[in-house]
Chains A and B, each alone.
Chain A
Amino acid sequence: MAKIIYVDHEGTERAIEATNGESVMETAIKNSIPGIDADCGGACACATCHVYVDDAFMDKVGKPEDMEQSMLDFAENVQANSRLSCQISVSDELDGLRVTTPESQH
């Protein structure tokens, strides 16, 4: 179990107890977190689950793989801490992870 904190673009925080092994995207969808569309359901096919990872967790979540990186290159308002949340798997190590959702995924 790990607590994931989702911050929307207006700054509202929502803390969720996430299940290990599920993705940060799935956790968001099941808990109706606004700001994540995840149209393809986690297949890394659509780039609509873009989030900004809190700097303190950048090392723990690791770097995106090539496929994800090239998807991110075409997302709107990409930053150095951008990730696709379908590619971040929840684990104990990520307890307390804060991710911020962009204003729009399209």
Chain B
Amino acid sequence: MDLSTSKSVVIVGAGQAAAQACASLRLFGFEGGITLIGEEAALPYQRPPLSKAYMKGELAEERLYFKPEAWYQDQNIDTVLSVRATRIDRSAQTVELEHGGSVSYDALIIATGSRPRALPVEGADLDGVFDLRDLADVERIRPRMIAGQKLVIVGAGYIGLEAAAVARQLDLEVTVLEMESRVLSRVTSPVMSGFFEAEHTRQGVTVRTEARLASLGGADGKVTTAVLADGTELAADIVLVGIGILPNVELAEDAGIACSNGILTDRDARTNDPRVFAAGDCAARPLVHYGRQGRLESVHNAIEQGKLAAAAIMGKPRPPEDCPWFWSDQYDLKLQIAGLSQDYDETVVRGDVDARKFAVFYLQNGKLIAVDAINSPPEFLASKKLIMTGARLAPETLSDTSQSMKEIAAAAV
């Protein structure tokens, strides 16, 4: 379907994927109207710093925004903010808005993102209990991040651990609760989990694994304790919840667009309706380097799918599909991840764990599928390319630090 002469492209959602789609549509020469509909009051901004430099107070708010307000005017992009889209009518090609009214589209990009999984315990609604997802959350949390306050973080995923690092640097008393037997259990190997747990412990965080939160207790509506399933009571002034996110698929699902843990798209970010695209956290896309469909919660994915959707609408060649990549900053550690490590059958450590400069490679049938690199950009960048070429590497080669990653990459087949 040729959509390049569309009069109107509507984008539901105003996060990174949406911002990229706007920029790419104009870059590819789209001259029709663009309407950006966002639930939040803010123009599109970067989320990663919310649990890092911005939370710590090291980054001014204006530096979070991808583009200044004037850019949207210059580019003739209509921004409809603090408004929820309530329904997609695919036969009428309209998006209905809360408080009434609707917007017509020739092409629609659904970039509705994701929302934090709600804490399923009593007391989750007490004052002092926070999610960490958007700018407004951080505005509420930051004034309470005062030295000496007791912070309990529920969930030892990346968001939880990044927040723990910030809180320790601000001198709060921090406890991290994790249900599983190790931190980051869903996303990394035992070696990496062990490293992060030791690092946080060394920095003064109390990490409690196999700890199930039973309830939150409070006084005068404000949280005061976290009660564990084994009866342990922990004093808490603030509770941060980081137990995963859920894709916002309801708008698509209600409109009869195919979904399965995410809005299903093809390689061009197109859904089963040729006029409707999905991009970012809400979409489940073909993971071309892994031969399966999946959802990625990352900056790389948001940018790439924003570009893919814009290119498909404009009939441009498909932009490159990069190896998935991620990063996390905790204390002075930079973790860079390339690839998806699920289903690995072998790990190889390169470098010195104690020196806090090492990488863990993940292999599947001898093929490199992912790397977690701590303060090691060469391991990250070389692996990103090697993963895309389906390179097979011997474990003894990967662990041999007498060879540089450049040399290893050049010799790989």
Contacts and interface: CB of A to CB of B under 8 A. Distances in A.
Interface of A: 22, 26, 29-30, 32, 39-41, 43-47, 67, 70-71, 73-74, 106
A22 B300 contact: no
Contact of A40 (B299, B320, B382): B299
Contact of A32 (B71, B303, B376, B382): B71
B130 interface: no
A44 B71 contact: no
B154 to A, nearest CB: 26
A71 B381 contact: yes
Contacts of A47: 377, 381
A29 B45 CA distance: 13
Contacts of B49: 41
A74 B381 contact: yes
B378 A40 contact: no
A46 B48 contact: no
Contact of B378 (A30, A44, A45, A70): A70
B322 A106 contact: yes
Contact of A43 (B48, B67, B71): B48
B63 A73 contact: no
15 contacts: A30-B68, A32-B23, A32-B67, A39-B303, A40-B327, A41-B299, A43-B334, A45-B334, A46-B327, A67-B334, A67-B375, A70-B378, A73-B377, A74-B406, A106-B322
B381 A45 contact: no
Contacts, number: 51
A17 to B, nearest CB: 13
B224 interface: no
Contacts of A46: 325, 327
B329 A43 contact: yes
B336 interface: yes
Contact of B327 (A26, A32, A45): A45
Contacts of B67: 29-30, 32
Nearest to A69: B377
Contacts of B303: 39
A45 B375 CA distance: 10
A74 B299 contact: no
Interface in B148-182: none
Interface in B376-397: 376-378, 381-382
Contacts of A45: 327, 334, 336
B46 interface: yes
A31 to B, nearest CB: 9
Nearest to B300: A39
Contacts of B300: 39
B66 interface: yes
A40 B381 CA distance: 14
Contacts of B382: 74
Given A71-B377, A73-B378, A73-B406, A41 B334 contact: no
Given A30-B68, A30-B71, A70-B378, 4 more contacts: A32-B67, A46-B327, A67-B377, A71-B377
Interface in B45-89: 46, 48-49, 52, 63, 66-68, 71
A41 B302 CA distance: 13
Nearest to A22: B63
B23 A44 contact: no
A43 B375 CA distance: 13
Contacts of B381: 47, 71, 74
Given A32-B71, A71-B377, A26 B63 contact: yes
Interface string B315-328: 00000101001010
Contacts of B406: 73-74
A3 B378 CA distance: 34
Contacts of B48: 40-41, 43
B71 A39 contact: no
Contacts of A43: 48, 52, 327, 329, 334
Most buried by B among A32, A43, A44, A73: A43
Interface string B280-302: 00000000000000000001100
Contacts of A26: 63
A43 B298 CA distance: 14
A48 B49 CA distance: 18
A6 to B, nearest CB: 16
B64 to A, nearest CB: 9
Contacts of B327: 40, 43, 45-46
A41 to B, nearest CB: 5
